[in-house]
Structure 1
Amino acid sequence: MSHINLVKLCVGCDSVEDLADWQQRRGAGDPDWLPRHVTRMWPKREAELVAGGSLYWVIKGVILARQRILRLDEVIGEDGIRRCGIVMERALHRTQAAPRRAFQGWRYLKPDDAPPDLPQTREGDDALPPELSSKLAEIGIL
């Protein structure tokens, strides 16, 4: 079975480092903790998502990173409403910058339309600011 991805706005984060820090704080002290994003709608294409799909994060209008989706968990809120917990691997993979217009919720992203991963950086390399990545992607350099 082929896979499908999701794309989601990363609200409140200015960089991939912000997202990584936020996720690390959420899981601090629990060696079994995995990042999870809770959403109101349950994806109808669940089998394709867990067959190798990733959640691609849009930060400041640009896809900059992804995390592989491991499973979807049922989450019942305090209001009794069933929601979907998208459980991901801990590793954040940086991707080539790909501009994306604002939208609500999440959207499916075909593998052919997903930006490729960037090569692993060296420890001393600095990440490009999202604004610069966005402008470079707009003109086809990144």
Structure 2
Amino acid sequence: MPLHILKLCVGCESVEDLADWQRERAAELPDGLPRHVTRMWPKRADEVLAGGSLYWIVKGNILVRQRIVRLDPVDRGDGITRCALVFDPELVRTEPAPRRAFQGWRYLKSEDAPRDLPAARPGEETLPPELAEALAEFGWR
């Protein structure tokens, strides 16, 4: 089973904010793929690269994930090699799952990861996040 990473999405108010920010940043990069640079290289990189995703915590809830396609070394000229988590551009919404704030990132076991939400049917709007969270609390998904 793949191992996932859990991270706060600091500065984003919604999944749409994350998508907009990533689209703008990715356009500036040679491969056009979104990424997040972190100071720590995952010690369990092989497990993460075996199909793992980064699960984003937005406003206190896991709401979305992105598959991690590779890890790139980043040298900013200060003698510290950082790690770029490079993502598939597709944002996959998940069942809302509350999480407390923390610094950095954490590993997330597959069995502890929230399930993906079904894709919306053509012409069907997605539920507002507040409603989706309330339904998840009652076990209605």
- TM-score normalised to the size of structure 2? 0.89
Within 2, Cα distance between the matches of 1:31 and 1:125? 35
Letter in 2 for 1:99: P
Within 1, Cα distance between the matches of 2:77 and 2:122? 43
Counterpart for residue 55 of structure 1: 54
State the superposition RMSD in angstroms: 1.8
Letter in 2 for 1:105: G
Counterpart for residue 2 of structure 2: 3
Within 1, Cα distance between the matches of 2:84 and 2:108? 18
Letter in 2 for 1:19: L
- TM-score normalised to the size of structure 1? 0.89
Counterpart for residue 86 of structure 1: 85
Counterpart for residue 114 of structure 2: 115
Is the partner of 2:115 in helix, strand or coil? coil
Within 2, Cα distance between the matches of 1:134 and 1:105? 24
Say if 1:60 and 1:129 are closer, same or farther in 2 by CA, change over 3 A: farther
Deviation at 1:101, TM superposition (A): 1.0
Question: Percent same amino acid at aligned positions?
Answer: 64
Is the partner of 1:125 in helix, strand or coil? coil
Counterpart for residue 45 of structure 1: 44
Letter in 1 for 2:78: D
Counterpart for residue 133 of structure 1: 132
Gaps of 5+ in 1: none
Say if 1:102 and 1:129 are closer, same or farther in 2 by CA, change over 3 A: farther
Q: Which runs of structure 1 show a deviation greater than 6 angstroms over 4 or more consecutive aligned residues?
A: none
Gaps of 5+ in 2: none
Say if 1:29 and 1:64 are closer, same or farther in 2 by CA, change over 3 A: same
Q: Is the 8 A contact 1:54 1:66 kept in 2?
A: yes
Alpha-carbon deviations, 1:28-68, whole Å to 9, x = none? 27673111111111111000000000000110111111110
Is the partner of 2:46 in helix, strand or coil? helix
